[in-house]
Chains A and B, each alone.
Chain A
C-alpha cells in the first residue's frame, strides 16, 4: 500500500513538475524577400476556444519572438503584421522553432490625404437654441452667445478680441468681410459654430507662436460641394419691393459667394462698412463718397438700393487666389429741417428736400503664393470707381425776417487704384523678413452749383503715392521678438479749385520717413505688440520738416479662459487733408468753409483703451469694463463766422487740443430655472462720455464741455411650449448736454423702448415688436410709436412665404409719426437736425431654395 501511495505521489509530483515547466516556442517572422519583420504579433489560441487568447508575443527588432505556453496540443499561433496576410500555424509538439513567412496583402482601408497642421483650440458656440429658425442670420445666432459682441457695423468681438476672419469649413473665405457672412449665412447651413483661438493661416509665413482668433462655420454636408441658390421676391404697400438672391458654393478648393440685393425698403443687409475701409490711403473726398453710397441717409422718404457682390476664394496647396467684386447703386430722398441757434436766439431755419444717387464699382484681386514653407509672395490690386450726385432744394429763413429759396447741385467722381506686392520669408528659423510696396493713384472731380448766387465750384484732386515697408524680426523666444521697421512714402498731391472764374492751384509733395523698433510676443496668456519710432514729414513745397514720435502698442493678457485684460495706446500723426487749405470750399448744401493755408500741419492723436472682460459661456455670464481716452492736438475745426442768404459760412482754424473720456460697463447674465431650459437673460450697459475742447464764438476762443450718459437695459425670457419662444424687453435712455463756458447751449434726451415676441417652430416663425422712440430737446419733441413684424411660413423645405414690415402704423396711415432728431453744438452753434420722414414698408413674398 505504501508502495502504491509512493508511486501515486511520485506520479502526481512528476505531473506537477511537468505542468509547471511550460513549452517555449521560439521563431522568427520574415517576409518573402527574407526581410525580418519587427513588431509582428504572435497570438496563441486554443483550437477549442478561438476567442480566447492564451498567450501573445511581439517580434523584436530582428523579427525573433518567444512564447511560453502551458499547452502544446490543440493550440495554434496566429501571426499578423499590418499589410501582410495573417497566418495560422498549428503547434507541433516536437517543433519549438518556427520560421514564419508572411506575404503582403493589399490594403482595404480607405485612402486619405492629410497635411500637417497645428492643433486648434476651439470653443463651440451655440446654434441650436429653439428660438432660431432656419432663416435666422448668423449675426443673430452669434449674438445669443455670451462673450460675443457685434456692433451695428458688423464688427465682431469675442472676449474683447476683434475677429476679422470668418472661415467656412476651416478655410478662409470672409476676410475683413464680416457683413457678408453675418448677414447671409443662415442657421440652416450651420453644422458647427466655433471660435478658433489659435488659428494660423498657412499662407502667412511667420513665427509659429503667432496666431489669431477667428470664427469658423462648418456647414452641413448638404451644403458642401454643390451650388446652392436662394431667391426671394417680395412686394407690398406703396410700391415697395425687394429682390434678394444668394448663390454659393462651399468646397475644399474653391468657395464662391454671390449676393444680389435690390429693394426699395431700406434693407442694406449687405452693409458694406468694409468697403469704406478698403482703400486705406485715400483722400477724405473718396472716404465721404464711398460712405455715402455704402450707408446713405437714415429716415428717408424714398429709397432704392442695389448691391451685387461676388466673392471667389480658390485655394491650392501652394497658392491662394482671392477675388472680390462689387456693384452698389443707391438712390434716396429725404426731407430735413435744420435749426441753428446760439442758445439764446434761433439764427436760421432750413427746410431742405434732399435727393441723392450714387454708384460704386469696385474690385479686389489677390494672389498669395507659397514659394516654399518659409517664403511667400502676395500680389494685390484694388480698383474703385465712384459717382455721387446730390440735389438740395432749400427754403431758408435767417431770423428775424429774411427768407430765401435755393437749389444746390453737387456731383462727385472718384477713381482710385492700388497695386501692391509683398513678401515674407523666414531665415535661419529665427529671422523673419517682410517687404512690401504699393502704388496708389487717385483722381477726384467735384462739381458744385448754387443757383441762388450762381456760384459754381469745380474741384479736381490727383494723388500719386508710393509706400514701401521693410521689416526684420528676430525671435528670441515666443514672448520676445525684436523687430526693426523702415517705412518710406512719397506722395504728390495736386488740387485745383475754380470758383466761377477764380482758379486756385495747390500742390503738395510730401515724403515720410519712419523707422521703428518693434517688440512683440505671444503665448497662451500674453499677446503684446509695441512699435516705437521716429517719423519725419518732409514738406517739399515750403521746405519744412516735422519730426514726430509715433507709438503703437497693445497688450492682451488672459487671466484664464474667462477673464482677459486688453490695453492699447497709440500716438499717431496725420497730415492735414489738402482741401482744408483751400480759400473756400462748399461741402454740404449751403455750407461754405474758408480757411488759411496749413498744408504742412500734422494732427497728433493719442488714444488709450483699457478693457477687462469676464465672460463665461457656460454660465451665460458676461461682464466687461472699458475706459477709453483720446487727445487730439493741432487739429482743424470749423467755427461759425456768418449766416447769409447764400451760405452758412464757417472758418477752419487750427486748435490746440481736445480730450475725450469714454467709460462703459456691460453686464449680462442668463438663468436657467428649470430642467426644460426655461431661461431668463438680463443685461445692462452703462456708459458716459466726457468731452473737453475749444470753440471760437465771435472771434473769441471759449472752452466747450460735453457730457453724455447712456443706459441700456435688456431682459429676455425664454419659456417653453408657449405661443412664443422668446419675449424681449429693451430700454435705452441717453442724456446729452453741451456747455460753452458755463452756459448750457445744447441738451437732448433720447428714450427708446421696445417689447418683442419671437416664435420659431418647424413650419413657421414670427416676430412682432412694439416700439416707442422719443427725442427731446429744450424746444423740440419728436415721438414715434409703431410696430415691426416678420412672419414666415414654410410650405416645404425649399419654399416659404413671408410677410414683413417696419413702421406699419405709419404705412397704413394709422398714425402720423415723425422721424428722428439729432442735435450738436460742436462748432459753437447749436445745430438741430430733424428728419421728418418715417420710413416704413409692408411687403409679402416668396422664397425659393434650389
Chain B
C-alpha cells in the first residue's frame, strides 16, 4: 500500500513539476533592424556640406538587415540571427549601391560558450569566446527611451573598438545582439564603427522549439564551417580596430 502511495505521489509530483516547467518556459523574442553606418562612421569628414552628408546617409541606408534575437534565460541560451537583407533603392540618387563592409550572420551563447559568424570585407570569421572575456563596459549617466524602455548608455573601448550600447535594466538579461554581453540588461540599440542596430519590437514565445532549432542549426554551421577560420574574439577585435584606423586614415 505504501509503495502504491509513494508511486502515486511521485507521479503527481513529477506531473506537477513537468507542468509547471512547461508553463513557465518563456523565450524572449526581439526583432532588430541594422543599417551599415554609425555616427562615428560619418564623423571622419564633418567638413562635408549637409547635402553631401545626407547623401552619404542615404547611400548607407540602401541595405537594411533584419535580425531576430531569442533568449532563454532559464537554460542560459541565446541566439541572434539574420532574418532578411533588404536592398532598397533610393529615389533620385545616383550611384548609391553599396556592399556593407561588415555583415553579422549569427551569434549565440550556450552557457559558457560564445560564438559568432561575421564577414569583414567578404572575409568570413568564426569568433569564439568565454565568459572570462570582458567588454569592459563603462556605464554613463546618459539615458534615453527606446521603444518604450528606459535605456542607459554604456561605452566599451575594448581593444580600441568603440561600441556604444543602450541597454535597459527593465529586461535584465546580459547577452545581447551582435554577441555583446556583460551589461545588466538587454541592449536595445548599439553602434559600432560599421553599423547601428536598433530594436523594433519585443515579444515572447511560450515554447523553446524555435530556439532549439536555431541553436542546433547555428551550432552545426559554426562547427562545420569554422575549420581554419576560427579566431578568438579578442584577436578579432584587435584586427577590427586596426582596420578602422586604416579606413579613417584613407578617408
Q: Mark A residues whose CB is within 8 Å of B.
A: 38-43, 51-53, 56-58, 60-61, 78, 80-83, 86, 104, 107, 109-117, 119-126, 128-129, 194, 561-562, 616-619, 672, 675-677, 679
Report A60 CB to chain B, min CB distance, Å.
8
| A-contact 0/1 string along B92-109, CB 8 Å cutoff | 111111010000000000
Our pick among A61, A123, A124 for the contact of B112 (Cβ within 8 Å) is A61
Judge whether A619 and B210 touch: CB under 8 Å.
Answer: no
Judge whether A112 and B174 touch: CB under 8 Å.
Answer: no
Bound-state CA distance A56–B182 (Å) is 10
Bound-state CA distance A125–B175 (Å) is 36
Judge whether A39 and B85 touch: CB under 8 Å.
Answer: no
Judge whether B204 and A109 touch: CB under 8 Å.
Answer: yes
Instruction: Say yes or no: is B145 at the interface (Cβ < 8 Å to chain A).
Output: no
Our pick among A107, A110, A116, A117 for the contact of B26 (Cβ within 8 Å) is A107
Judge whether B172 and A40 touch: CB under 8 Å.
Answer: yes
Q: Mark B residues whose CB is within 8 Å of A.
A: 24, 26, 28-29, 62, 68, 71, 73-74, 76, 81-97, 99, 111-112, 131, 139, 141, 143, 152, 169, 171-175, 182, 184-185, 202-206, 210, 213-214, 217
Judge whether B73 and A39 touch: CB under 8 Å.
Answer: yes
Given contacts A57-B184, A676-B92, 10 further A-B contacts (CB under 8 A): A39-B173, A80-B169, A81-B73, A107-B26, A119-B85, A120-B85, A124-B89, A126-B89, A617-B87, A672-B94
Bound-state CA distance A42–B86 (Å) is 39
Q: Please name all residues of chain B whose beta carbon is closer than 8 Å to the beta carbon of A123 when the two chains form the complex.
A: 86-87
Judge whether A618 and B204 touch: CB under 8 Å.
Answer: no
Given A41-B174, A86-B172, A562-B97, CB of A111 within 8 Å of CB of B203:
yes
Identity of the chain A residue whose Cβ is nearest the Cβ of B74 in the assembled complex:
A83
Bound-state CA distance A40–B74 (Å) is 11
Given A41-B169, A81-B172, A82-B28, CB of A619 within 8 Å of CB of B83:
no
Identity of the chain A residue whose Cβ is nearest the Cβ of B84 in the assembled complex:
A120
Judge whether A122 and B84 touch: CB under 8 Å.
Answer: yes
Judge whether A122 and B89 touch: CB under 8 Å.
Answer: no
Bound-state CA distance A51–B142 (Å) is 9
Q: List 29 A-B contacts (CB under 8 A).
A: A40-B172, A41-B184, A42-B184, A52-B141, A78-B169, A81-B73, A81-B172, A82-B171, A82-B173, A83-B26, A83-B73, A109-B28, A109-B203, A111-B205, A114-B29, A114-B68, A116-B213, A117-B83, A119-B83, A120-B84, A121-B84, A122-B87, A126-B89, A129-B91, A561-B87, A616-B97, A618-B95, A672-B92, A676-B92
Bound-state CA distance A562–B87 (Å) is 12
Judge whether B85 and A124 touch: CB under 8 Å.
Answer: no
Q: Please name all residues of chain A whose beta carbon is closer than 8 Å to the beta carbon of B90 when the two chains form the complex.
A: 618
Bound-state CA distance A119–B172 (Å) is 28
Judge whether A114 and B210 touch: CB under 8 Å.
Answer: yes
Judge whether A53 and B139 touch: CB under 8 Å.
Answer: yes
Bound-state CA distance A652–B164 (Å) is 80
Identity of the chain A residue whose Cβ is nearest the Cβ of B70 in the assembled complex:
A114
Judge whether B81 and A119 touch: CB under 8 Å.
Answer: yes
Bound-state CA distance A115–B83 (Å) is 12
Main SS of chain A's interface residues? loop
Given A61-B112, A677-B92, CB of A110 within 8 Å of CB of B203:
yes
Q: Please name all residues of chain B whose beta carbon is closer than 8 Å to the beta carbon of A52 when the two chains form the complex.
A: 141
Q: Please name all residues of chain A whose beta carbon is closer than 8 Å to the beta carbon of B82 when the two chains form the complex.
A: 119
Identity of the chain B residue whose Cβ is nearest the Cβ of A170 in the assembled complex:
B84
Report A781 CB to chain B, min CB distance, Å.
45
Report B147 CB to chain A, min CB distance, Å.
12
Judge whether A43 and B184 touch: CB under 8 Å.
Answer: yes
Q: Nearest 8 A-B pairs (CB), nearest first?
A: A41-B184, A80-B172, A112-B203, A677-B92, A119-B82, A124-B88, A120-B84, A123-B87
Given A82-B173, A83-B24, CB of A122 within 8 Å of CB of B204:
no
Bound-state CA distance A561–B210 (Å) is 31
Identity of the chain A residue whose Cβ is nearest the Cβ of B141 in the assembled complex:
A52
Q: Please name all residues of chain B whose beta carbon is closer than 8 Å to the beta carbon of A83 when the two chains form the complex.
A: 24, 26, 73-74
Identity of the chain A residue whose Cβ is nearest the Cβ of B27 in the assembled complex:
A114
Our pick among A82, A117, A561 for the contact of B97 (Cβ within 8 Å) is A561
Q: Please name all residues of chain A whose beta carbon is closer than 8 Å to the beta carbon of B173 when the two chains form the complex.
A: 39, 82
Report A113 CB to chain B, min CB distance, Å.
7
Identity of the chain B residue whose Cβ is nearest the Cβ of A60 in the assembled complex:
B131
Q: Please name all residues of chain A whose beta carbon is closer than 8 Å to the beta carbon of B131 when the two chains form the complex.
A: 60
Our pick among A51, A57, A86, A112 for the contact of B141 (Cβ within 8 Å) is A51
Q: Please name all residues of chain A whose beta carbon is closer than 8 Å to the beta carbon of B171 when the two chains form the complex.
A: 82
Identity of the chain B residue whose Cβ is nearest the Cβ of A37 in the assembled complex:
B73
Most chain-B CB neighbours within 10 Å: which of A56, A82, A111, A112? A82
Identity of the chain B residue whose Cβ is nearest the Cβ of A120 in the assembled complex:
B84
Identity of the chain B residue whose Cβ is nearest the Cβ of A41 in the assembled complex:
B184
Bound-state CA distance A120–B87 (Å) is 11
Judge whether A675 and B112 touch: CB under 8 Å.
Answer: no
Q: Please name all residues of chain B whose beta carbon is closer than 8 Å to the beta carbon of A58 when the two chains form the complex.
A: 174, 182, 184
Judge whether A38 and B76 touch: CB under 8 Å.
Answer: yes
Bound-state CA distance A617–B88 (Å) is 9
Bound-state CA distance A121–B84 (Å) is 5
Report A685 CB to chain B, min CB distance, Å.
23
Bound-state CA distance A128–B112 (Å) is 48
Judge whether A51 and B143 touch: CB under 8 Å.
Answer: yes
Bound-state CA distance A618–B214 (Å) is 34
Q: Please name all residues of chain B whose beta carbon is closer than 8 Å to the beta carbon of A82 when the two chains form the complex.
A: 28, 71, 73, 171-173
Bound-state CA distance A104–B20 (Å) is 12
Report A20 CB to chain B, min CB distance, Å.
20
Most chain-B CB neighbours within 10 Å: which of A51, A57, A109, A115? A109
Bound-state CA distance A679–B91 (Å) is 10
Q: Please name all residues of chain A whose beta carbon is closer than 8 Å to the beta carbon of B24 when the two chains form the complex.
A: 83, 104
Q: Please name all residues of chain A whose beta carbon is closer than 8 Å to the beta carbon of B84 when the two chains form the complex.
A: 119-122
Judge whether B85 and A121 touch: CB under 8 Å.
Answer: yes
Judge whether B169 and A43 touch: CB under 8 Å.
Answer: yes
Q: Please name all residues of chain B whose beta carbon is closer than 8 Å to the beta carbon of A122 when the two chains form the complex.
A: 84-87
Bound-state CA distance A672–B175 (Å) is 46
Most chain-B CB neighbours within 10 Å: which of A113, A116, A120? A116
Judge whether B139 and A56 touch: CB under 8 Å.
Answer: yes
Q: Please name all residues of chain A whose beta carbon is closer than 8 Å to the beta carbon of B111 when the two chains form the complex.
A: 61
Q: Please name all residues of chain A whose beta carbon is closer than 8 Å to the beta carbon of B81 when the two chains form the complex.
A: 119
Given A82-B73, A111-B203, CB of A126 within 8 Å of CB of B169:
no
